Chain A
């Protein structure tokens, strides 16, 4: 299934002979200068901030006695640490409240637009950027959150940064960055019934491992990717970081342009036409060179599920967990530790495992298309009695749209609880935690130990696979439930 080609003649300073990749076209345009034998100064177009990774950066600025350099290029929201019930009431937990209040104060002091709690645009930072038309092709986008790679779905260079780097962008709109190596992952062919974009990315990570793309910018290409909606493309780029990639990106096309057109911050009138001409040059030239290239047959992908404690530990739902003799000797310890945490046995089938919670949400899968997918599957069905189901829309706009389409009624009739927007049980920073020892099938991005709460056990899967598990109460193969 996988064919890897290594090109040894790749030149790390590409300007000159040969074609350019999508990544290089954007990168080269944003270089202010390059330090000899060191990193480049990369100009950042858009900076998204939230309450958890920004306060120490603002403190740094205040200590230096300087103001934010380009406040109009920053957009803020509160998402990681907000409750997903009763958002109209003051936040109960003192530390969380202080953190959200610090964001409000900092944004006001520095003239930054904030879509905080109660604002109709509030939501998960990686959901609101695209839906407001802030994320556009050809831009450099950063945020103090690793899933910033999501925005690469629009043909942008988008990556997560730490708080010191948040402070750098606030002070100078620039970052010091070394140019990553380039990888292209081509997915071609028709997807099987019941297989969606989440399965594609979980499959890719299971092939190349949780560190398989570290040091690379990864372009996703091929007919399967071209046929995906923007929401589906975002799911794929979102999880690029789960294989270690610096960023993931997809060349913009008509699907991209149609998605952006008419959105709040999208270019208008003449500016739109000018931008469109520019955006249409954003693709990898036929003779662009990649350090590594991988080819994947879409037909080989089945609905995926993870069984371990990193996102690379995924299998097709009909498969068995690897037996000990299938595991590399060096990795045996980590593998056994992981299965012990999960309460699973090597070699056993994952289908039929009982689950306790279902979480449908996160910057990976909380967009309107995800909610429609779930609603259309569960319409007229009921959740299993002993399962609790939380649906957390990605933003106030997604929530409003879902209600307008009547999805809320369908979901409630099935016994699913529709909560309010935020990161929620993806990282268990607010009170939405999975209890110790319980199993949660989750549409989020990380199955790390304790990620959804101390000793919580996570199975990562697509919204469709999560929906079927909610109905049956166990890990199930959605293909058996589709006509």
Chain B
């Protein structure tokens, strides 16, 4: 199965909160697994359930609202701040998301997302508010994200914006390459660097 991504068209799950930290995305008590799988069921665990009880979903939380679904999570600024746990990116991906849209991402989360082919798309504050307004008006509103064109478009109204991503990472995502493959390919160079550093 290729991990490559390019065009993603989907309905939206809107999360209005700002400063969503990785402890909310996946609380520490769920980090005891030694594999990368299965974190999705505990995504936003404490926002999702009353008193940690899966039989008591919190009605006002967006993931429990059946009118919202899709592969694109849209959230307020400074998404993914706090702990470096990659489990946060694994949990979001495992819950079926391919894209997170925000006006601002924390550094480590952004790298973790990219390393898991979960595309972080940075939009302007204005565009973020447009998305929230569109999905509030119609929960079936769709976004189209085109990585090659670096564009994000609200399908109904046609409003669109261009997003930034560094050329190297874009190439990796479009082709399904990862950083480890790249680093392993230059191992000779790394060994030569070690020798020059110690001489």
**A residues touching B (Cβ–Cβ < 8 Å)?**
29, 32-33, 35-39, 41, 43, 52-53, 55-56, 59-60, 64, 69, 80-81, 95-96, 98-99, 102, 144-146, 148, 160-165, 167-168, 171-176, 178, 180, 210-211, 214-215, 241, 244, 246, 310, 331, 333-334, 337, 427-429, 436, 446, 448-451, 454-455
**B residues touching A (Cβ–Cβ < 8 Å)?**
16-19, 21, 23-24, 27-29, 31-36, 46, 51-52, 76-78, 81-87, 89, 104, 106-108, 111-112, 115-116, 166-169, 178-180, 182-184, 186-187, 189-190, 193-194, 197
Q: Would you call B187 and A146 a contact (CB within 8 A)?
A: no
Q: Would you call A95 and B24 a contact (CB within 8 A)?
A: no
Question: Which residues on B sit within 8 Å (CB–CB) of A98?
Answer: 32, 34
Give complex CA distance A254, B133 in Å.
57
The list of the 6 closest CB pairs from A to B, nearest first, reads A38-B168, A162-B86, A55-B34, A162-B112, A164-B115, A95-B32
Give complex CA distance A69, B183 in Å.
12
Partner of B184 from A172, A176, A427 at Cβ < 8 Å: A172
Q: Would you call B16 and A333 a contact (CB within 8 A)?
A: yes
Q: How far is the CB of B73 from chain A (nearest CB, A)?
A: 18
Question: Which residues on A sit within 8 Å (CB–CB) of B33?
Answer: 95
Give complex CA distance A92, B23 in Å.
24
Q: Would you call B34 and A244 a contact (CB within 8 A)?
A: no
Question: Which residues on B sit within 8 Å (CB–CB) of A178?
Answer: 166
Q: How far is the CB of B60 from chain A (nearest CB, A)?
A: 12
Q: How far is the CB of B178 from chain A (nearest CB, A)?
A: 8
Chain A residue nearest to B85 in the complex (CB): A53
Question: Which residues on A sit within 8 Å (CB–CB) of B85?
Answer: 52-53, 162
Q: Would you call A81 and B106 a contact (CB within 8 A)?
A: no
Q: Would you call B107 and A244 a contact (CB within 8 A)?
A: yes
Question: Which residues on A sit within 8 Å (CB–CB) of B28?
Answer: 80, 427-429, 451
Q: Would you call B186 and A37 a contact (CB within 8 A)?
A: no
Can you offer 20 A-B residue contacts whose CB atoms are under 8 A?
Answer: A37-B168, A52-B32, A52-B85, A55-B35, A96-B32, A99-B32, A146-B84, A164-B86, A164-B179, A165-B112, A168-B179, A174-B183, A176-B182, A178-B166, A211-B78, A214-B106, A244-B78, A310-B19, A449-B23, A455-B51
Question: Which residues on B sit within 8 Å (CB–CB) of A163?
Answer: 36, 86-87, 112
Give complex CA distance A192, B150 in Å.
52
Give complex CA distance A180, B178 in Å.
22
A171/B34 contact (C-beta < 8 A), A32-B189, A333-B16, A454-B46 known: no
Question: Which residues on A sit within 8 Å (CB–CB) of B189?
Answer: 32-33
Question: Which residues on B sit within 8 Å (CB–CB) of A449?
Answer: 23-24, 46
Partner of B82 from A337, A448, A455 at Cβ < 8 Å: A448
Q: Would you call A39 and B23 a contact (CB within 8 A)?
A: no
Q: How far is the CB of B195 from chain A (nearest CB, A)?
A: 12
Question: Which residues on A sit within 8 Å (CB–CB) of B182?
Answer: 176
Q: With A164-B180, A165-B111, A211-B19 given, can you name 9 additional A-B contacts, CB distance below 8 Å?
A: A52-B85, A60-B180, A81-B32, A161-B108, A164-B115, A167-B180, A214-B78, A334-B76, A427-B83
Give complex CA distance A436, B193 in Å.
52
Q: Would you call B115 and A162 a contact (CB within 8 A)?
A: yes
Question: Which residues on A sit within 8 Å (CB–CB) of B51?
Answer: 436, 454-455
